[in-house]
Chains A and B, each alone.
Chain A
Amino acid sequence: MAASADTYARPAFDRTLLLVVPAAVFMLLLFVYPFLYGLQLSFRPKEGGLLWNYIHFFTTDNLWPTIGITLKLALPATLINVGLALPIAYKMRVKTRYQRVVTTLLVVPITLGTVLIAEGMLLYFGPKGWLSHFLQLIHLYDGPIRLTHNYWGVLISLVISGFPFAFLLILSYITGIDPVLARAAATLGAGPGAQFRHIYLPLLAPGLAMCFCLAFVQAFSVFPSAVLLGAPAGPTRVISIAAYEAAFEQYDYSLASAIAMVMGFVQLVIVAAVLGMRRVFYRGPVSGGKG
């Protein structure tokens, strides 16, 4: 088929290509230019040589650990989100009376801003919040409950805001898989568990990898909840806080740019690793023949 593709008569210029222009301009002005600007800015430090910012970042005790702190939040949050979304989306793949209700309920948090979620969480999970009151009322747990202004507060908020995203993405992948495949597997002796393992999971793997990447990138750039719900001076001093401080407290845009570049690089490494793993999986159409 590839050989015959060249023999088709094509007009010299496909004018539908012009449809790409607005998006391309948008990307150039709002992504490529700022990125390149930031990149060159990061190599023009206030003092010292070309790489001073980067050397400074990796030798300063309140800067380089932010990578680890952010990863420690973003990776578990992403794993929880994808891991929770997968079974629920799998269950929701068949149309039932409840499917729409459940889907709507699960997706609602996507409409809430991070700040709103943080406010709500402070009220609910705080030391004097409803949860704490309730648990003490029924004497399930009498000690103080610390789920805000620490690591857990930020993690919970990342799960609340990230879950609907992962859920919707996985749901769309799952509903794209022809249910006849599972039926065929059933007639061949595969029970529900085996159908999931042998049919759905392998066909979903590329989608799961994609979902993991998107959810991870979203979680890695956590900022408002790390400040509002976390302990921004210590355990949740994430990399974006470091960049914010450099830019707006020390007015060192050059250092801030360098931190942003490091942040982007870490995201790139993780995304590349996950997408690289995708190569071992089947990546073709997910239907079982003509249909």
Chain B
Amino acid sequence: MKHDFSELKLDRVTRRFAGAGGKAFNALDELSLTVKRGEFIALLGPSGCGKSTALNCIAGLLGLSGGSIWLDDERLDTLPPEQRGFGMVFQNYALFPHMSVERNVGFGLRMRGASTAAIAPKVERALAMVQLAGQAHKLPGQLSGGQQQRVAIARAIVIEPPLVLMDEPLSNLDAKLRIETRAEIRRIHRELDRATIYVTHDQDEALSLADRIVVMKDGAVQQIAAPPEVYGQPANLAVARFMGYRNVLDLEVSGRDGGEVSLSGGGIALRGVAMQPIEGRRAAVAIRPEEFTVGAPEGANTIAGRVDNVEYSGRDALLDLVTASGTVLHVRGPVSIRRGDEVRVHVPPERVLVYRPD
């Protein structure tokens, strides 16, 4: 089993499951991805999008229905999980409850036939890396959730795997611990200097951790790009919705000028940038709540409405704005605004993303 590599290649990896009524469906549909040494990849998507299926296929816990997996020039998808040598961190930690922290962490090394003398310092180093020195003799049941998760990480990295696979490792932790452990995971990834594939449904986690994000939906890849690109230029409407573009309006196309599109409908007139070739007469615009400026003078790309709901969120507030025709917009605005206020909001054309309607 290798400790180092230059690239992991997923070639049209497909996994079918028998669905309701005996009809097979593709939980994972032709995922192709090349992961370079040193990269941190996040598989992002709503539950049921196939991201965990993809991870289990890479780990060898699920067989492939099609495609292949290569670590450099070695074909992996025909090997059982115990011969792939990847470290995996599970959502519910999956620590062995009958073994001490030390024995849990040393398990992978014991399975590789390492001597007791060789195991002890490695386990010690791994525990130091996740800041759990001094807890070596406790049983998992005696640790807090955050500590258990760090034991799980130590157990996965102590075998010096070329690839660490993480399946929603933070979803069972509370908000504060989640942010702390997130930074920890990023630091460990840097120190190991191998590759990490990280499954999550949380955009913030994916944006803050990953070098590249793979956005998935219904088993298919929607976009593979660096975090700023996924955040700022979602490839399609599904990605935009998932990345926090809460305002999606179905409007009529009234004019095109190169990449710029003019749209109108329901008393709203907007200019925006086409993210996909727009052919039809209708298109969908996607706008983030924080792209609006509240209290703008009358002009292009402004929308007037009455504030119907105010959600206070500290620095600002999330407003529900209802236009004269009844369209609801989600807008971030100053906390001084009250329910019932009449306001006018402006959004710059470059932040109005135009997609084909779905």
Contacts and interface: CB of A to CB of B under 8 A. Distances in A.
Contacts of A282: 97-98, 139
A180 B92 contact: yes
Given A191-B80, A286-B97, A291 B108 contact: no
Interface string A169-194: 00000000010110111111111001
A290 interface: yes
Contact of B97 (A185, A186, A287): A287
Interface stretch (B19-27, B83-91, B125-133, B280-288): B83-91
Interface residues of A: mostly helix, strand, loop or mixed?
loop
Which of A189, A198, A286 is packed against the most chain B CB atoms within 10 Å?
A189
A189 B85 contact: yes
Nearest to B86: A187
Interface string A186-216: 1111110010001100110000000000000
Contact of B82 (A190, A281, A289): A190
A183 B91 CA distance: 12
B61 A289 contact: no
Interface in A271-291: 281-282, 284-291
Interface string B150-175: 00100110010000010000001000
Contacts of A290: 92-93, 145, 148, 172
B90 A180 contact: yes
B130 to A, nearest CB: 15
Interface string B264-275: 000000000000
A284 B94 contact: no
A105 to B, nearest CB: 25
Contacts of B86: 187
Contacts of B97: 181, 203, 282, 284-288
B98 A187 contact: no
B94 A180 contact: yes
Contacts of A281: 98
B50 interface: no
Nearest to A189: B111
Nearest to B161: A187
A198 B107 contact: yes
Given A186-B81, A187-B82, A288 B93 contact: yes
A189 B112 contact: yes
B159 A289 contact: no
B98 A183 contact: no
B139 A289 contact: no
A186 B107 CA distance: 11
Contact of A186 (B1, B60, B87, B140): B60
B141 interface: yes
A291 B92 contact: yes
Interface residues of B, number: 37
B59 interface: yes
B70 interface: no
A194 B108 CA distance: 11
Given A190-B82, A198-B107, A289-B140, A185 B112 contact: no
B231 interface: no
B95 A187 contact: no
A290 B96 CA distance: 12
B61 A187 contact: yes
A186 B148 CA distance: 19
B111 A184 contact: no
Interface in B48-85: 59-61, 80-85
A289 B95 contact: yes
Contact of A178 (B94, B112, B141, B145): B94
Nearest to A285: B97
A178 B80 CA distance: 20
A69 B246 CA distance: 80
A212 to B, nearest CB: 19
B92 A188 contact: no
B92 A186 contact: no
Which of B80, B81, B93, B98 is packed against the most chain A CB atoms within 10 Å?
B98
Interface in A248-291: 281-282, 284-291
B61 A199 contact: no
A203 B141 CA distance: 14
A120 B61 CA distance: 46
Which of B81, B94, B108 is packed against the most chain A CB atoms within 10 Å?
B94
Contacts of A284: 97-98, 139, 141
Contacts of A202: 98
A285 B148 CA distance: 15
Interface in A53-75: none
Nearest to B140: A289
Contacts of A287: 92, 97
A200 to B, nearest CB: 11
A180 B80 CA distance: 16
Nearest to B152: A289
A186 B61 CA distance: 8
Given A288-B96, A289-B95, A187 B141 contact: no
11 contacts: A180-B92, A183-B81, A184-B155, A187-B88, A191-B82, A194-B82, A284-B97, A285-B97, A286-B97, A289-B149, A290-B93
Given A181-B94, A186-B60, A281-B98, 9 more contacts: A183-B81, A187-B61, A187-B84, A187-B88, A187-B165, A188-B87, A203-B97, A284-B97, A289-B152
Interface of A: 178, 180-181, 183-191, 194, 198-199, 202-203, 281-282, 284-291
Q: Across chains A and B, which 10 residue pairs bring their CB atoms closest together, nearest first? A: A289-B93, A282-B98, A189-B111, A188-B108, A291-B92, A184-B94, A288-B94, A187-B88, A186-B81, A180-B94
